[in-house]
Structure 1
Amino acid sequence: MNYSKLNSKTKGIIFIILSAFGFAMMSAFIKLSGDLPSFQKTFFRNIVSLLVAAFLITNHKSKFFGKRENQRKLILRSTFGTLGIILNYYAIDRLILSDANILNKLSPFFVIIFSFIFLKEKINKKQILAIITAFIGALFIIKPSFSSEMLPAIIGTFGGIFAAAAYTTVRSLSGKENPDTIVFYFSFFSSLVTLPLTIISYKPMALIQLLYLILAGVFASLGQFGITFAYKYAAAKDISIFDYTNIIFSAFISLVLFGVLPDYLSVIGYIIIFLSSLYMLIFNK
């Protein structure tokens, strides 16, 4: 396949599927690393991404911290991304892997909302219907009740909201900053913010736990660069459905590594959310 001859949308699809695989593997290694504070997991994950991004920037002779006029957006992207990761890791530790990831993958629907509010991209009745339907699907996964058991699912949903805010900002930076710079800035910012929190809540790790966190960082880098390039090449409304390949990867990993599968209510939720995305894709076409 000649990559240079692919159109922008096809490139976006390839990168978003690579991103989905990267984030599924990242989630698996985060879960395998065991009972460690979310801040600690976030810090070690981002240190690896930071080193990878620094290498690429040096190799491509790009800027480490971007242009002066883009600082506000870079800080917003980094803040939202950091909050999204911390909340997502909390959910991963306490939910079935595919449940945690599907809640995080509500982000494309929130991207549409945020793009309408902040980027002035048009939103129509059919997209609104798809968003409402996706939220109904999320309720099957969250399983609302008056107990603390639903707390991880709610936190996982907020992780998806913050991820959407981060991706909307990435979209607004498209063509203005190099993807290497965006990833480095985010990783540097997140490492800086989580370092003191990691020191305060630090738990000693076995060598295997450290190895799992390093591998989580490697696959997070694949996911991060994948999503950054994907939204560089194509609009979220055109390619976001392919991000749901993450759930297929996650369900397979959950079965192989942890011997668990989601319950039937969660599966119903997955189907509803996926069909909502499919409906939006067909409408966009």
Structure 2
Amino acid sequence: MFTPKAHNPALAAGLIFCASAFIAGTTLLAKALGTDALGPPLHPLQISHGRFLFAFVAIAATVAVLRPRLRRPHWGLHLGRTSFGWAGISLMFASVAYIPIADATAISFLNPVFAMVLAIPLLKEGVGPWRWLAAVVALAGALILLRPTPASFQPAALLALGAAAVIGMELIFIKKLSGREAPIQILMVNNAMGVTIATVAVLAVWAPPAPAQWAALAGIGVLMACAQACFVNGMARADASFVAPISYATLIFAGLYDFAVFDVIPDAVSVTGSAIILTGALILVWREGRARRVRP
């Protein structure tokens, strides 16, 4: 029988903060691999394959050492979660090769909004005026980041928007899966399925990576495994309404990494759009926390 983790907000905050740094690190490496920074650019499907391959190796090694007690997985939920997760990360890795990491990261914060909208038909959840206000505000910020004028429109930003929508669907499966299985089992099954799907998808576009690219692919996998472990364990130790705002530190790390490595400085449009998306997301977090407190 799976026993939930003890409530520990301080530890949860530290784990989510670390996860944010790791996740931003994966997008930095993905940008290096998708451009010519480390050699001929790799296809996004090859980058996502490396992410799942090396993450699976890292998690499988951890399971072999710790030998946790596993139970029978819910295969259907895992397959749905992994399929949408693979598609979302592939789109995200494609987008960061063309637009600033901070912009792509900010747009990815729309995934809770898409999850909220999808929960209406799929989970039969009701959505009140505050939730719709949060959705409208966040989508307005995304529209700003898209720069919808002939002179400044960023088509690649649509890839990040698609990633947010697909990951929003993944969150529906995560919500159904949460509480059913231990975090280490969820990570193991997710990455085992992910590397299988990614291997089939990459066959048509595979190109031999340079040594530096192999190192970056391994880095993405290990960082993502660390991020997943921190995030899942953090979520297990505190309420989602407490954890979610801390995860937005990913945007800060993304901007710092992009500046340090690629000399990218966010312009006024990026800062404005990102701030509006974060405002919408925080409204949603506040509303969820308030609703959870008053719910009997």
Q: Indicate the TM-score class for this superposition, using the shorter chain for normalisation.
A: 0.7 to 0.9
Q: Paired residue for 1:91, among 92, 95, 106?
A: 95
- Residue 240 of structure 1 and its aligned partner are, at CA, apart by 1.9
Q: Per the alignment, do residues 148 and 79 of structure 1 end up closer, same or farther by CA in structure 2, a change over 3 Å counting?
A: farther
Q: Distance in 2 between matches of 1:82 and 1:148?
A: 30
- Residue 212 of structure 1 and its aligned partner are, at CA, apart by 1.2
Q: Paired residue for 2:54, among 45, 48, 52?
A: 48
- Residue 221 of structure 1 and its aligned partner are, at CA, apart by 1.1
Q: Paired residue for 2:199, among 195, 206, 217?
A: 195
Q: Which ranges in structure 1 are unaligned for 5 or more consecutive residues? A: none
- Residue 156 of structure 1 and its aligned partner are, at CA, apart by 0.7
Does structure 1 conserve the Cα–Cα contact (< 8 Å) formed by 2:52 and 2:198? Answer: no
2:143 — aligned with what?
A: 139
Does 1:241 find its partner at 2:250? Answer: no
Q: Distance in 2 between matches of 1:36 and 1:213?
A: 10
Q: Per the alignment, do residues 167 and 18 of structure 1 end up closer, same or farther by CA in structure 2, a change over 3 Å counting?
A: farther
Q: Distance in 1 between matches of 2:210 and 2:21?
A: 26
Does structure 2 conserve the Cα–Cα contact (< 8 Å) formed by 1:83 and 1:159? Answer: yes
- Residue 62 of structure 1 and its aligned partner are, at CA, apart by 3.8
1:117-164 Cα distance to aligned partner (Å, 9 max, x none): 434455321121011100000111112246995321111111112222
Q: What amino acid does structure 1 have at the position aligned with 2:221? A: G
Does structure 1 conserve the Cα–Cα contact (< 8 Å) formed by 2:241 and 2:286? Answer: no
Q: Distance in 2 between matches of 1:17 and 1:121?
A: 30
Does structure 1 conserve the Cα–Cα contact (< 8 Å) formed by 2:102 and 2:255? Answer: yes
Does 1:206 find its partner at 2:210? Answer: yes
Q: What amino acid does structure 1 have at the position aligned with 2:72? A: K
Q: Paired residue for 1:178, among 182, 197, 203?
A: 182
TM-score in terms of structure 1 length = 0.88
| Equivalenced residues, count | 279
1:17 — aligned with what?
A: 17
Q: What amino acid does structure 1 have at the position aligned with 2:17? A: I
- Identity within the alignment, %: 21
Moved more, 9-18 or 137-146: 9-18
Q: Per the alignment, do residues 235 and 165 of structure 1 end up closer, same or farther by CA in structure 2, a change over 3 Å counting?
A: farther
Q: Distance in 2 between matches of 1:150 and 1:171?
A: 32
1:27 — aligned with what?
A: 27
Does 1:57 find its partner at 2:63? Answer: yes
SS at match of 2:203: helix
Q: Per the alignment, do residues 112 and 229 of structure 1 end up closer, same or farther by CA in structure 2, a change over 3 Å counting?
A: farther
Q: Per the alignment, do residues 7 and 232 of structure 1 end up closer, same or farther by CA in structure 2, a change over 3 Å counting?
A: closer
Q: Which ranges in structure 2 are unaligned for 5 or more consecutive residues? A: 36-40, 291-296
Q: Paired residue for 1:127, among 112, 128, 131?
A: 131
Q: Distance in 2 between matches of 1:147 and 1:194?
A: 36
- Residue 226 of structure 1 and its aligned partner are, at CA, apart by 2.5
